[in-house]
Amino acid sequence: MRKFFTLFVEYNTWLLFVLYCSIAFLFIRLQQNDVQASLHNEGIEFSAAVNEQLMKFNSLFTLKNENERLMRVNTDLLSRVLNLETATVDERNQNKILADTTRNASGFIMARVVDRKFSDRENMLVIDAGWRKGIKKEMTVLVPEGLVGRVTSVSENYARVMPVIHPDFKVIVVADSCSSMGILSWSGGKEFIAQVEHIPISSHLKLNERLVTSDFSTFSIRGIPVGRVVRIKPDNLFYDVDVRLAVDFSTLTQVLVAPLKIEPEKIRIMSNDTTTIKKRAHNFQTPAL
């Protein structure tokens, strides 16, 4: 017994170290636990609230640039409205044959970016809208210029957004004119260049072609601009395509959050295993593309 206590006293630093590491591992293991999740949410709430105040202070210095950017956006929107008015007449004639799958696109929620991190530790945005404003996981985040990302976690007043420039982010895109489809992802390097895979070399994709989100995406509504093709290199079967992203992530201040796209029937039909899919559709945990 005495030997045991001697051993205990002798190696107390190691025992303390092991104890702390065990607690840390326990927390990592219980990452999905309710208590841990609430702590996580409280962390986001506190961190975002402080950052919001810091950003407010910082925004005073960027007012001039912000005004100029808004003027550019207004000009762009005005030209789009004029184009759309002319297109509406043509559209009316086509409505009978085209199925409208963007019904859920109404009711965008506006939010402000209160925190933005792009480092080796974290790559995410925090917006000042949470479940109180109707934000849910997997909602699409965008700006008039294009796609920003998707919501990955939500607290009461804030939400965390995984941007397009995150290695885990993937979205199905379609070319504007030739309708070639591919999967857009960002694999590091320059923050304004992303890659598109699975575009067959038989397609007629051209340089400077605009890419938009496809209706095939499980989370994003269709037609959101993503970027323009800046490099096409043919590989064995598919093109190796580089895309210059439409959104400048360094200047994001206001964003829009699109309503959740719920298509359990579509997800069900895409898979053979209906039971798994029912569960996935219910939890909205399908791998988002």
Q: Return the DSSP state at 248.
A: -
Apex 75 CA angle, 73 and 78, nearest 5: 105
- Contact pick of 67, 79, 187, 276 for another protein (by CB under 8 A): 187
Using the rule CB under 8 A, is 34 a contact of another protein? no
Piece of 35-43, 72-80, 104-112, 216-224 that binds another protein (CB under 8 A): 35-43
DSSP string, 217-238: -SSSPTT-EEEEEEEEEE-SSE
Radius of gyration, alpha carbons of the chain: 23
Q: Which is nearer to another protein, 30 or 270 (CB)?
A: 30
Piece of 41-49, 203-211, 214-222, 263-271 that binds another protein (CB under 8 A): 41-49
Q: Which is nearer to another protein, 168 or 235 (CB)?
A: 168
**Mask for 118-157, x = binds another protein (CB under 8 A):** xxxxxxx---------------------------------
Q: Give how far Cα 13 sits from Cα of 16, 17, 18, 20, Å.
A: 5, 6, 9, 11
- Contact pick of 5, 88, 100, 188 for another protein (by CB under 8 A): 188
Q: How far apart are CA 220 and CA 263, in angstroms?
A: 11
Task: Determine which helix (DSSP H) or strand (DSSP E) holds 128, and give its type and residue range.
Answer: none
- Contact pick of 7, 39, 84, 201 for another protein (by CB under 8 A): 39
Using the rule CB under 8 A, is 11 a contact of another protein? no
Kindly give, in sequence order, each residue whose CB lies less than 8 Å from that of residue 80, ignoring residues fewer than 6 positions away.
Answer: none
The identity of residue 44, as a single letter, is I
Residues at the contact surface with another protein, assessed by CB under 8 A:
12-13, 16-17, 20-21, 23-31, 36, 39-44, 46-47, 50-51, 54, 117-124, 166-167, 186-189
